[in-house]
Structures are given as structure tokens and as C-alpha cells.
Structure 1
Amino acid sequence: MSDRGPERPVLSFLGAVATVTGSHFLVEHRDTRILVEAGLYQGLAELRRRNWEPFPLSPASIDAVVLTHAHLDHCGYLPRLVKEGFAGTVTCTDHTAALAGIVLRDSAHLQEEDAQDANRLGWSKHRPALPLYDRDDVERTMPHFRPVAFGQVVDLGPETAVRLQPAGHILGSSVVVLETAGRRVVFSGDLGRASHPLLGPPAPPPACDALVVESTYGDRHHPIPDPDLLATTVTRTIRRGGSVLIPAFAVDRTELVLLELSRLMVSGAIPRVPLYVDSPMALAALEVYRQALREGSAELRADAAESLDALGGLAVTTVTSAAESIALNRPSHPCIIVSASGMATGGRVVHHLEHQLPDPRNCVVLTGYQAEGTRGRQLAEGARQVKMHGRYVPVRAEIVQDVEFSAHADADEIVGWISSAESLPRTVYVVHGEEHAAQALATRLSRELDLCAVVPRLGERVRLG
């Protein structure tokens, strides 16, 4: 890629094509380069290797990064960009900045820990195994953040400006509205749902020349929630003397899981057994939500205070030290453990799975989308063994998938969101979904809304107007 940008605005798809991870989208006009999202690839080994490949352009040539939200697949590559020379600003909401700091510090810690374990135990082919970035890289990244309010117009370069509007996915999540040289492109990021118990729904998209929309659930509908699924699962597991392990994303998902467990315990639908939250990151993220409530954030639903207050009354044992976490690998009594990460790609939950999966008394409850190539996906698809820390572990525990906790819009909700625009976009680019999901959504948008809907190729460049 040359140092000089095009005379007319161009959009390039540098990630999140035929996969739900690694979001990177570049908008160029003359000497201005804006990167929307800086996500980490997760899941399949061939995708994770992309994190180590040279970035398609010099990070030093990027003027600014704009983030939709703080999940790792949207912000987790930022420290690597800074490490390789990025010196611009990172525009996002204040809640995204707060949560991203938590997420990135945890990501660096896990990468350093994994590299140390790989070198000590010899399960990596790399000699020595190294982290993609470390905690010092994260601390050098944080000063680049420039939080802005929803609706605030921010100049990013000549003829280029951005504003953010609520996406309703997690706290701080945004739809990005980028204007350059008279063209407007909108990036959905991850779209939330109207049924989120804490957050308001996504704002309708504005009129635009191009819309870049996610398709995580682009080929399916969320089923009608089974209100008894979690209760019956927990109850039968406890009765047979087992423990319930719930892998959950630390940001937003853990809060929703705890809200439901609180409701079930108060109503008597599940036994009052010890409940552990083994994720320092989740506890830090919960405090950001509580701070948003104290500040009267407009993102929160009117009844969010009641829900968050219920969490305050829930008898939860927070697990902070490594020694306390290790003790939960083989609980001495039936209990419920909520731990990150949500797709079992890393973190403390992997150690718990390693010890608890072989015991048929136990149960693992998967609470959201499981990307291709992740341990969570393998468990959801019925794997009888999974590989962790260089060895295979038999799966004898019960595996249950509870889709009630998904914070992603499904196909109907995405189509409904697009159709609510004041005028439909000229072109829709369908990204951030596995290939079959993206293609299904593009086909549906073409058929039902008569839109020019395209699934782009990795590295493809298109003109904005």
C-alpha cells in the first residue's frame, strides 16, 4: 500500500471478512487514513496467525483509529499497532475507553502468562514463545484514547469527521458515522437488541452512501428463550453432586448471567449454593456499569438501577488471587462458577475446564456465540475431547448452550434496524460473520429491501460513491 492515499475516498476491508473476529476497516482520502476498529483475531489457528503478520500498511501512517466498542475482537490489536509505530488518536466513547483499558490489560497479562507456560511446559513450536504485546505496550496505548460523547462531531483530518451513536450491544458501544469528502459511511460495529436488560436499543442508522454491517447471527433467529433452561440445568447438576461452570465474557455477559442467577435464587427456582465470580476483569467491568448508573448515563434503561441493585444483594464470592482460583479447579462442594473467557479461548476458565470436563457430574453452560475454532464451539458441537495446555482432555461433563444471553442482533433484528433508516444506503457491505452467515444476510437484504448487498473479500478496496 502506497504512502499517498486516493483522490476519492476508498474503503478497504482488512479484517472480519468470512469470520467474526479481527475487525479492521480502512478509510482513505488523499493524505488522511482512518482505521475503524483494531480487532484481534481469535478462534482458528490460521486466523490467530494473522495477528502476527505484518499489518497491511505502516501503522505510523494511520492518522486515527475509531472504535465501536471494547470487545477484544474490535480493540485487541491496538497495543500491537502502537508497538509498531501508530501515534494517532483513538476515538471512542468514555465507557468504551474505560472498558478497553480493562480488556487490554487483561489481554496482555494472559498473553504473557501463556508465553511463560508454553516455554516452561514446551507445548509451543516457537522457541521462545512470545506475547503479541505486553502490559507495557498497553500502558503506552492508553494515552492515545480521546473519549467523546454520543453525537459529538470530531474532526479527524481534512474533510473528514466522525460522530458516534448508541449501538446497544455493551456499555459504550457505538455505531460509527464517518464523513469524508462529502461521502458518508456507517459502521454498525456489533448491534445490540431491544431486549437487553440494562441498555437501550440501537439508534436507527442515518442516511449514508455505504453501510458496513455485522452478520454474526446473519443466518439465524434467536429462538424464544426457555425460561426454565438455566434453572433446570443448575438444579439437576447440583442434585447429582456436580458444579456448574459458566464461561462468560467479562464485559456485559457476566453482568447478565449474574442478573439471571440472582432472579432464580430469589424466586427459589435454583438452590442457594455458593456462587463464585472468578474473573477480576469482570468485576472491574461491573464497576464501570455501576459508575455509569451513578452518573445517570442515558445508555442505561430506566429500570437498570433496579437490576444493578439486585446484583448488590446477590451473595457472590469474588475470586481475585491465583490460589483461590486454583482451589476452584476441583470444588469440594456443589457450586456455580462464572469465569472468563466466554468462548474458552483463554483465561482462568480454561484451567477450570481442564479439571472439570472429565467429571460427568459437572455441567458447562455456554452463554453466547461460540466462534469457529474456539473451545466453546468444539464443546457446543459435541466434541468428546478438547486440547488445553498442550494435552487433550476428555469431555464427560454435560454441555448446555443457553442462547438467552446473546447481546447480538439476529437476522430479523439486523434487517429491521437497516429498514428503520431515514433512507436506505446505496450499498451494504456485510462483514463480521462466518461466510455462510454473511452471505445469507446479504441475500436477504437484496431480496427483501432491494439493496445492493455485498460480502467483500479480505483486502478488497471499494470507492465510497
Structure 2
Amino acid sequence: MKIKFIGGAGTVTGSKTLIESNGIRILIDCGQFQGIKPLRELNWEPLPVLPSTIDFVLLTHGHLDHCGWLPRLVDQGFKGKIYCTSPTKDVAKLILLDSAKIQEEEAKKANEGKFSKHEIAQPLYTVVQAEKVFPLFRVIKTNEAIPLDAEISAVYTNAGHIIGACTIELQLENKILVFSGDIGRDNDALMYPPTKPKRGDYIFLESTYGNRLHPNTDPKDELEMYINNAVQKGGTIIIPSFAVERAQSVMYLLWKLKTEGRIPNIPYIIDTPMGISVLDIFSNNRKWHKLPEHDYVEMCNMFTMIAEYQETIETIFNKQSKVVIAASGMVTGGRVLSYLERYIGLPETTVIIIGYQAEGTRGRKLLEGAKEIKIHGKYYPVLATILEIEGLSAHGDQKDLLNWLSVLENKPKKVFLVHGENAPADELRIKIQEKYGFDCKVPLMGQELEL
């Protein structure tokens, strides 16, 4: 059996792990690279194997860094089956269409504004190419063995993180391979705790926050303080958010604060068409989250939901203090850029970062104290107050990741730490070896191993 780390090794984006066994090729996740240019350029590179020779894609969840390269895979010849949970199928459809639309729009803007280094800027893929992925989806049930081949089966179990997210247990060649996907938190406001694996010969564990512990502070209290301070200054609060699950978690906390009379009666706005669509996925998949129907309805009624871009423009030029939740979460694209073009240079503005920011993203640069940021080919001074609420991350921290390994009944032959930058992954490697004595390895991008 061969394992090749095509993506998500040494980085938190572009997750792709290829398994070859007895003539069968299985790709675990098919993510898009984000962040620094050398990573983004990998999206244009061909895979080390022909997509037409891959038999199955198993998706852990629907985030762009786990499913965002599927249109390229299909366009280059993949005709196999893509297995995932029902919510993941719905989320992936939204994210792929949104990604394609944004890429088409940005290519158009680059060509019109002539700020592309290429003679003609091209999108990574189009909406038409994204739509060709959808007929290949196959919905599975959790906790049931799915036969992929006569001697290969997969079982999906809840991973927390976002709605529909799963860990995948792959059984083949008398071995159990466990792919964690992204592990959620044990105390998330909306998601149930991740299911811990009981057995695994080889474990592929994410390491996003492998060197960090989330603070013990209550994110609700932090939101209250930041919003009240910003409103006292007469400013607008902008919360760049991942449209899936983080937007809904922030909505939930804001609704709780409002019902408790702890934040003022100002407009609370959701300006992410995808985030609004995800609310329907929450409504249709109640077993996947903790939010009761009554609370869901009341929460939604509190927010002004913006779908049309004309409404975005009107909201941007409304000088009243307001809270705006807009995608994207790492400030790499989407409508949040339109708000930042207007507001990032105003000292009374507050920007609250609430999720992981990959290397090279605008969100990471803001957290690191950038004095200016580039949006659509133009530089804007950063005069707004930039704040972070770590407690709202959808990723488990070092303690959660260690705890996820705590009920294993056997000692794995190897634990591979993926989906993390090198420093966090290496620190988690040391912690796992100290606590459990497991043989732990941080693989390199492009590395191939025989099991």
C-alpha cells in the first residue's frame, strides 16, 4: 500500500492524501490551496497521477481547503464517485459555486483593471466546471460500513468542526487507516463533540492548532465588550467569517447577548449569500447540531440578511453603527473585501477575527499588524482596530487533539500529522510522543510512503 501526501502537508490548505492499494486509488479530500502565492500556484499544477486513474474521493467535510479542487479534478478526467455525508454534499455545492463565481469575478476585475500579471487572467475554474462535480456525489450514512471494493470499506463518524464533518476510517489490506479530517472542539456552542477513534493502525491527524491552547475566556463576553466599545466610538464592527458554521455560531452568540440586553439595538447584518443558504442546511439537518427549532427561528429574525450586491452597497454607505458578518473568513475574497475597502481606513472601525488565518492571507496579515492591505490591486491603510477572539475557532486546540487520541485500544504503528504548518505539527508530534509513546511523523508535501 502506498500513501502520497499531495496537499495539506506542512500547510493547513490543499488537503489531498492519495492511497493506492491493489490497483485501487482513493483520494481523501481534494482541497484547494490558499494563502501565500507559492501555495496558491500549486492549484494550477497537475496531480502526480492522472485524475482519470483515481477511483474514489472520500470527503471529510465541505470547506474549500478540503473540497475546492474537485472541479479541476473532474475537468481533468476524474469520473469516479465522491462519497460524503448529506450536509457535506450541500455545503460543498454552495462552496464550490461560490468559489467559482468569486474566481470568475476576480478574473474579470483583474482584466478590466489591468492589474493581473498575466495577459488574460483566467479563473481556476468556472461555475460550469463546478456544476459538473455534483452528479458524482454519493451520500452515505454515518457509522455504517461503505463497501468501496471487495476488500475495501469506509466508515464515517462525526468530527464536530462544521455541519456534516466526519472522520473517515478506511479498512483495507487488514489494516485500519483513520483520517481525522478537521477535528472540532469538545465544547463547541453548536456542534456536538467529535467521536474519538477506538482503533487505528495508521492515523492521519490534523494539527492546525498543534501548538496552541484556546483561551479560557468566554467568547460571548469578548463579543459584548468589543461591540459596546466600538459603538461608543460611533464605529462599525466587521466580522470576517467562514460562511459555514462560524457565521451561525456568531449569530447565535449575538442573539443570546441581544436577548440578555447586553449589546445595543443596532443593525445586525449577515452579508454572505452562502452563509444564509447554510442556515437552510442547519434547518434541514437538526441531528447534526445543538440548536433547537425555536431558538433558530428567533435568532434568524434578529438579523438583516443581505443577498443582493446592491443591498451590500447601500449598507456600506450607511454611516450608522452596525455589526456586519461577511465572508470570507480569512479575508481572501468575498463581500467582506467591499466592506474593508470602505472601513479599514477609519479609526472608529473594529474588525474582529474569529477563525484560523492561514499563512499569507489578509486575515493573518491584519493579525500580525499590517499597516496596509491590498484589495483588488489597490493598497488601503489599516487604521481600524483589529481584534481576535480565539475562542470561536472551529478547530480543536492542542488539548482537544491530544484528547481525541485518548480512547485508542491499540497502539498505532504510526501517527502522521497533517493539515498544519510545520511548527504546530512538530510541537504536537512531541506532545503525542511524550503523552502516549506513539511513533509520530510530520510528512512533507509530495512525500510517498509504503505501509
TM value normalised by structure 1: 0.95
- The answer on whether the counterparts of 2:30 and 2:59 sit within 8 Å (CA) in structure 1 is yes
Q: Are 1:429 and 2:416 counterparts?
A: yes
Match of 2:221 in 1: 228
Match of 2:132 in 1: 140
Compute the displacement of 1:307 (Å): 4.1
Among 74, 80, 83, the alignment partner of 1:88 is: 80
The within-5 A match list for 1:65-464 is: 65-226=57-218, 227-293=220-286, 297=287, 299-301=288-290, 304-305=292-293, 307-314=295-302, 316-464=303-451
Structure 2 distance, partners of 1:251, 1:360, is: 30
- The answer on whether the counterparts of 1:243 and 1:331 sit within 8 Å (CA) in structure 2 is no
- The answer on whether the counterparts of 1:385 and 1:393 sit within 8 Å (CA) in structure 2 is yes
Deviates more, 1:40-49 or 1:153-162: 153-162
Structure 2 distance, partners of 1:197, 1:420, is: 24
Compute the displacement of 1:152 (Å): 2.1
Structure 2 distance, partners of 1:306, 1:424, is: 45
Listed as ranges, the gaps of 5+ residues in structure 1 are 1-8
Structure 1 distance, partners of 2:342, 2:267, is: 19
- The answer on whether the counterparts of 1:17 and 1:431 sit within 8 Å (CA) in structure 2 is yes
Compute the displacement of 1:199 (Å): 1.9
Deviates more, 1:151-160 or 1:367-376: 151-160
- The answer on whether the counterparts of 1:170 and 1:192 sit within 8 Å (CA) in structure 2 is yes
Structure 1 distance, partners of 2:159, 2:236, is: 35
Measured against aligned partners, the alpha-carbon deviations of 1:83-105 in whole angstroms (never above 9, x if no partner) come to 11000000011110011111111
- The answer on whether the counterparts of 1:445 and 1:453 sit within 8 Å (CA) in structure 2 is yes
Measured against aligned partners, the alpha-carbon deviations of 1:201-243 in whole angstroms (never above 9, x if no partner) come to 1111131110000000000100112442211111111121110
RMSD across aligned C-alpha pairs, in angstroms? 1.2
The within-5 A match list for 1:32-43 is: 32-43=24-35
Q: Secondary structure in 2 aligned to 1:393?
A: strand
**1:137 maps to amino acid:** Q
**1:217 maps to amino acid:** Y
Structure 2 distance, partners of 1:12, 1:127, is: 35
Structure 2 distance, partners of 1:370, 1:28, is: 32
Structure 2 distance, partners of 1:165, 1:154, is: 12
Q: Secondary structure in 2 aligned to 1:211?
A: strand
- The answer on whether the counterparts of 1:359 and 1:397 sit within 8 Å (CA) in structure 2 is yes
Q: Secondary structure in 2 aligned to 1:14?
A: strand
- The answer on whether the counterparts of 1:225 and 1:403 sit within 8 Å (CA) in structure 2 is no
Structure 1 distance, partners of 2:358, 2:211, is: 14
Structure 1 distance, partners of 2:392, 2:318, is: 26
Structure 2 distance, partners of 1:99, 1:190, is: 15
Identity among equivalent positions (%) equals: 39
Match of 1:3 in 2: none
Compute the displacement of 1:123 (Å): 1.1
Q: Secondary structure in 2 aligned to 1:186?
A: strand
**1:431 maps to amino acid:** V
Change (3 A) 1:346 1:387: same
Measured against aligned partners, the alpha-carbon deviations of 1:64-113 in whole angstroms (never above 9, x if no partner) come to 10000000000010011001100000001111001111111101100100
- The answer on whether the counterparts of 2:416 and 2:443 sit within 8 Å (CA) in structure 1 is yes
Q: Secondary structure in 1 aligned to 2:285?
A: helix
- The answer on whether the counterparts of 1:71 and 1:100 sit within 8 Å (CA) in structure 2 is yes
Measured against aligned partners, the alpha-carbon deviations of 1:414-444 in whole angstroms (never above 9, x if no partner) come to 1111122232322100010111000000111
Q: Aligned pairs, how many?
A: 450
TM value normalised by structure 2: 0.98
